[in-house]
Amino acid sequence: MAPTILFVPGFWEGPRVFTPVCDLLQADGFKTEICTLPSTGSTSPGNPAMTDDIAAVRDHLTSIVHRGEEVILVLHSAGGFLGSAAMEGLSKSAVGQGGVVKIVFLAAAVFPEGHEHEDLPFAVVEGGAMYCVNPEVLLLNDITEPEKTKWLAMLAPQPADDWNGRVPYAGWRDVPSVYLVCEGDNALPADLQEQLANLAGSQIERCSAGHMPQLSQPSRVAEVIRAAAAII
């Protein structure tokens, strides 16, 4: 049976950005699910924090693993460290039947255990909310109109507080991974993505997309995921 594909979004974007890729994969018979980060759309104080996002991803992942299903995690941007932390003890080698068998990173933030987060250089805080600076350039530079206007309107704030914690776990140590380097990315430059991919020991794939390849090049993203599933 083909593995279930579980997507984890990054900051600001929400789950709907993965719909184009999910549609392509479902047409090929893959089962897809998308996590929701409780922090996205909230503001400080009293907001969900990084630990709450990790717990939410873990709960979703656990529900799939408990069905005995194998899982490919597809982690975008900040979802790279959130999803990696959430899979502690949930790899196939740890659980036996089912479990995470592979990670596909999409322009993802990859950090070792103990890494302490710093303020994002491309974010601005207004009141209790954190927004991306110039998202039309940093996130959506290769999205055509009117799609760019549509997705700009869907971006939601992240809370300003509780993001400078330490990475509790690096699940990429437990399973093989593929990293899709997005060479047109204005938020995470391609050379930095390559460094992160090398840190995780990932197989490197490439595309010309900006930071949101799931929107601008969904066929390429689906192609990379299909290939990852085929060699499990």
For residues 136 and 164, the model is more confident at 136
pLDDT at 117: 87
pLDDT at 1: 75
The predicted model gives 171-187 an average pLDDT of: 98
Whether the pLDDT of residue 199 is over 70: the answer is yes
Select from 110, 112, 136 the least CA-distant residue to 122: 136
pLDDT at 133: 96
Residue 162, by phi and psi: left (phi above 0), alpha (psi -120 to 50) or beta? left
Select from 31, 28, 53 the least CA-distant residue to 40: 53
Is the pTM above the cut of 0.85? yes
pLDDT at 119: 85
Domain ranges of the chain: 4-230
pLDDT per residue over 75-110, tens digit each? 999 999 999 999 999 999 999 899 999 999 999 999
Residues in the chain, overall count: 232
pLDDT at 32: 98
Whether the pLDDT of residue 7 is over 70: the answer is yes
For residues 71 and 230, the model is more confident at 71
pLDDT band for 162, please (50, 70, 90 cuts).
confident
DSSP string covering the chain:
-PPEEEEE--TTT-GGGGHHHHHHHHHTT--EEE---TTTT--SSS---HHHHHHHHHHHHHHHHTTT-EEEEEEETTHHHHHHHHTTT-BHHHHSSSEEEEEEEES-----TTPBP---TTEEEETTEEEESSHHHHTSTTPPTTHHHHHHHH--PEESSS---B----GGGTS-EEEEEETT-SSS-HHHHHHHHHHHTPEEEEES--S-HHHH-HHHHHHHHHHHHHT-
Whether the pLDDT of residue 189 is over 80: the answer is yes
**Mean pLDDT for the chain overall:** 96
The predicted model gives 172-198 an average pLDDT of: 98
4-230: which CATH architecture? 3-Layer(aba) Sandwich (3.40)
Please tell me the distance from the alpha carbon of residue 88 to that of residue 224, in angstroms, as a whole number.
24
pLDDT band for 143, please (50, 70, 90 cuts).
very high
Select from 105, 151, 136, 114 the least CA-distant residue to 13: 151
